[in-house]
Amino acid sequence: MSDAQLIRCQNCSALNRVPAEKLLRGSKAVCGRCKKPLTGIQPVTVTDATFSALEAAPLPVLVDVWAPWCGPCRQLAPVVEQLASELAGRVLVAKLNCDENPVTAGRFGIQGIPALLILQNGREVDRIIGVQPKTEILRHLMPVLT
């Protein structure tokens, strides 16, 4: 995976390039200049070819299964982005476009979107179907956060 996120430090305004591989390993992103933790981390985009990296992630994983034509998926996207930033270092948040990655979507039996999969140690432990409020998503994540 060679995708990287550009994240501006809230403390010193430095622009930091954070490799997706680092986030997949569960490493906490810190500013290269001031060494403060970075906020504003976005979900990592995964594909059929790169999904196996999520299964080896040391952190619990929240996978947003979506499609670009899906209105409810677009409605849920800002909540997923907030969770990625707020739970950075505790939960890895990823996005999987089910139209472009039918093998993984089929493997998990995705029949309706948006679907949020919660993985721990490479196994699905919970699933949320449809648009849900942030508090409900956090309620589902609590067992893997403790």
Percent helix, strand and coil across the chain, each rounded to 5?
A: 30, 25, 45
Strand order in the sheet with 44-46: 44-46, 92-97, 61-66, 115-120, 123-129
Helix, strand, or coil (residue 110): coil
Calculate the CA 32 to chain-centre distance. Answer: 23
Question: Residue 96 is encoded by which pair of tokens?
Answer: 């999987």
Residue (of 119, 131, 130) closest to 59 by Cα position: 119
70 is catalytic: yes
Contact at 8 Å (CB) between 24 and 53? yes
Active site positions, annotated: 70, 73
